[in-house]
Structure 1
Amino acid sequence: MTSSSTRSINTTAIAGLSVWVGLIVLVSYWMGQQAHRWLPVQASTAAPLVDDLFSFETAIGTFVFLGVVSVMAWVMLFNRAEKYDDTDAVPIEGNTLLEVIWTAIPFVLVMGIAFWTIRASDQLGTLGPMEHIHPRNPVEDAGGYPGDRLPAEQVEVIARQWSWEFRYPGSNVSSTELHLAVDQPVTFRLVSEDVLHGFYIPAFRVKQDVIPGRAIDFNVTPTREGVYRLRDSQFSGTWFAANQSDVVVESAQDHEAWLEQAARLPLQPGLSLAVSEYATRQSRSNPGWATVPPAPPPQVNVPGSSAQPHQA
């Protein structure tokens, strides 16, 4: 009779535990799906890969958090000492099965994250001018050459304290507002004229340090038309947070028209919020703490607008 009751209790406990673990899995999956809504819009081929990895890690983190909290709650509710009980706990030996399970679960989770990360990194590494992932193939749709390999546009990116300058060698155009054609792979040549900067476009999910004394090639393919924001992700001095620029992703036709129009414009000072803020500060009787004077704004064909709304 006792043996039968014990088996019944164990079966009930296992069933309840299975239901609770299943519920945690469902909540974790739901949280992973919600994680996509926490990020900016996806505007490049790299964005879905990064977002899927973030979603997976969010789901894993939710599962671990709820699992640990569940164990803590179970111990506090059903295994606490009686009131005024100050005796020592019963000495017990280690449970080999529990230790194996407790070691295996984190191992599987870490290996899963590592596998997903390696796969995403491998795919991100192929997003270059010769190999990249395309949601559609506009060249083949237009009757162009076969395959999904498109010629990459070349753009030179010059970072300085504190402004960005973009040069389009094929068109002899320069600007302080980055213009790109949608679904057209682009190769950036990143250089710094002074210190370490960070080339970061949140909507593209890409970030690359710009190291002084080196030229770094960096590839990306925009996939969504709109206006986005380029930010300096490295602390490069007083006004590094203001070292931002608009990224305009437009159709191939609009991009070609913009290049043609920009080539006819004379050179003029580009946008540099740091220069204007520094001039305002120096005009005061007490300019405040000493700082590095901003570099003069670059002479460009198109300065752009600092008041243009952007999506991310």
Structure 2
Amino acid sequence: MKIRTIVTLVIVTLALSVVSLWMGNLSHSWFPPQATAESLLIDDLFSFLVTLGTFIFFGVTGTLTYSILFQRAGKYDMSDGPPIEGNVKLEVIWTAIPFFLVIWIGTYSYQIYDQMGILGPMEHVHLMESAEAASMDTPSKKITEVEVIAKQWSWEFRYKGANVSSTELHLPSAQRVRLKLTSADVIHGLYIPAFRLKQDIIPQQVIDFEFTPIRVGKYRLRDSQFSGTYFAAMQTNVVVETPEDFSNWLVQTAKLEPKPSYNQAFAEYQQQSKQTIKGWDSVAPATPPVVNYSTQKDS
């Protein structure tokens, strides 16, 4: 009977492992495309956590279900259970397993963030030189620097050395990018789901934020912090281009005359101010930035 129990536990454990690994691999399809080198690392970490969580979830719920179905007392059995006061071996096991799991998760998470070069909330200073770079084009040592100005409720991007500003973020692929994040008023959050990266932007502080785009395409940037009435409108496009297309865009955009950009929050506020609606006062949006290139209303 004991051998049969051990064989059954081994089979169940193997089945749980297969299901957990399958669920972990499936988790990659839950996210947008992997558009940065960092997203490869973050997705691997998430897949690991999903695999581990699936194993624990089905292991615990399966044990509870089995106990409820096959280990309950008979219909008219009113007797007490056996007088068990404790089991030192069992208590050591269920204490040691969570302890080592937490250490495992913490160590792996630290390794991932160390590879990303994140030393702290405001330090992103290392180049990606680890194995994940093999899945993309050979990354250039050149760093593209962009100043990001967040305010209620618009984004403004200024490209170092190009005399170009825009409300749509353009980036070269396979090149390290350094964003210098500043806020003109309140706390904002730079969040691009396809990049798997998010960084809070603090007033009166400049935060360097680095990553490496690897996939050409158009993505969406959103404010992850509630920054006021029109914060939901504070979003724009992020365009990742080949280095050649990015250079051409800078050259062509520099020739455009700067002008006030279209801003959804500002337009809605102006329209509302013309109406006589009683209620709480709203914070007036900042004046739309004057830029060479503006995201159009229908983009």
What interval of TM-score do these two structures reach, taking the shorter chain for normalisation? over 0.9
Is the 8 Å Cα contact of residues 28 and 63 (structure 1) preserved in structure 2? yes
Matches within 5 A, 1:1-312: 9-125=1-117, 131-133=127-129, 134-135=133-134, 150-286=141-277, 288-308=279-299
Label 1:126 to 1:195 Cα distance change in 2 as closer, same or farther (>3 A): closer
Rounded Cα–Cα distance in structure 2 between residues aligned with 1:253 and 1:278? 39
Task: Quote the offset at 1:271 in angstroms.
Answer: 3.3
Q: Secondary structure at the match of 2:165?
A: strand
Count residues in correspondence. 292
Rounded Cα–Cα distance in structure 2 between residues aligned with 1:70 and 1:136? 39
Task: Give TM-score, length-normalised by structure 2.
Answer: 0.92
Task: Give TM-score, length-normalised by structure 1.
Answer: 0.89
Which one has the bigger strand percentage? Answer: 2
Map Cα deviations across residues 45-84 of structure 1 (whole Å, 9 max, x no partner). Answer: 1101111111111111111111111111121122211113
Rounded Cα–Cα distance in structure 2 between residues aligned with 1:70 and 1:38? 25
Task: Quote the offset at 1:32 in angstroms.
Answer: 0.6
Is the 8 Å Cα contact of residues 191 and 216 (structure 1) preserved in structure 2? yes
Label 1:106 to 1:209 Cα distance change in 2 as closer, same or farther (>3 A): same
Label 1:217 to 1:168 Cα distance change in 2 as closer, same or farther (>3 A): same
Rounded Cα–Cα distance in structure 2 between residues aligned with 1:185 and 1:70? 47
Label 1:149 to 1:265 Cα distance change in 2 as closer, same or farther (>3 A): closer
* Structure 1: unaligned runs, 5 residues or longer: 1-8, 140-147
Task: Quote the offset at 1:88 in angstroms.
Answer: 2.5
Task: Quote the offset at 1:289 in angstroms.
Answer: 2.9
Identity value in percent? 49
Q: Secondary structure at the match of 1:150?
A: strand
* Structure 2: unaligned runs, 5 residues or longer: none
Label 1:136 to 1:31 Cα distance change in 2 as closer, same or farther (>3 A): closer
Task: Quote the offset at 1:307 in angstroms.
Answer: 2.9
Map Cα deviations across residues 273-308 of structure 1 (whole Å, 9 max, x no partner). Answer: 111111222222316431101001000000023433
| Partner of residue 145, structure 1 | none
Rounded Cα–Cα distance in structure 2 between residues aligned with 1:69 and 1:138? 45
Rounded Cα–Cα distance in structure 2 between residues aligned with 1:260 and 1:42? 28
| Partner of residue 144, structure 1 | none
Q: Secondary structure at the match of 1:135?
A: helix
Give the alignment's Cα RMSD to 1 decimal.
1.8
Is the 8 Å Cα contact of residues 176 and 271 (structure 1) preserved in structure 2? no
Highest Rg: 1 or 2?
1
